[in-house]
Amino acid sequence: MDNNKFFSFFMEFMIRDWFASIPITVCSILTVAVVIERYLYYQKNRRDVSAFIHQLQKELERNQLQQAQMNCSRLGGVIGEVAEEGVRLMAEQKEDFSKAFDITVGLVTRKLEKNLAILGTIGATAPFIGLFGTVVGVVFTLDQLGVGGGGTPVVVTGVAKALIATGYGLMVAIVAVIFNNTYTNTVKRFNDDFLLLKLLFLSFISSEASPTSTTR
């Protein structure tokens, strides 16, 4: 099949099978929008966590909590936001630090996971929308064959046109699934960084509490 014929088949599908082409096209637009929006958001919040944690550790060892908060604020992004809140909680809520810090992480994780459910839903439903369009297209082809007659070429051409719906749905779904998995792994890496911060804070809380327990 040459490109011109494929393009004509595709345009015919878009117009004739609008009940399938419009939902899949909407899914494709949503996929592109979410992919771009999430990419820009993750890039804006990407930070060098290793260097930052080493610096934060030194400031906590010197008990320079105010300086640590300033550096967290200067770092910015979700990492800086969580770290700054962690320093505040470590100073004010040592006994309930773990629960309070987990709440902070949970709220930030919601921001990181925003709109990822859209990609997951499109990845799961777009193939079925395309399959629905194919089934309806095959039914129309067989109906026309029964009414007007025709041979094998008519059936083959009709089925080929109907399969465009499945291909279109699969293409959109594959893109959605790939980026959903990629961004889910990105969120996991952010959560790993949050866990490192939590372990750092807990280690200093326990080190401050240990001399007291020894004295008792």
16-20, 78-82, 152-156: least confident range:
152-156
pLDDT at 216 over 60: no
Burial class of residue 56 (count of CB atoms within 10 Å of its CB; 0-12, 13-18, 19+) = buried
Cβ-Cβ contacts under 8 Å for 185 (sequence gap 6 or more): none
Q: Residue for token digits 């060892």?
A: 61
94: three-class secondary structure by DSSP: coil
For 16-52, write each residue's pLDDT tens digit: 878 888 999 999 999 999 999 999 999 999 988 888 8
CA distance 28 to 11: 16
Q: What is the model's pLDDT at position 33?
A: 97
> pTM of the entire structure?
0.84
Q: What is the model's pLDDT at position 214?
A: 43
Report how far Cα 41 is from the mean position of its chain's Cα atoms.
11
Helix (H) or strand (E) holding 169: helix 152-215
Please give the share of the chain, as a percent, with pLDDT higher than 90.
48
Cβ-Cβ contacts under 8 Å for 164 (sequence gap 6 or more): 9, 10, 13
CA distance 122 to 170: 10
Most confident among 20-29, 50-59, 85-94, 142-151 (mean pLDDT): 20-29
Report how far Cα 155 is from the mean position of its chain's Cα atoms.
41
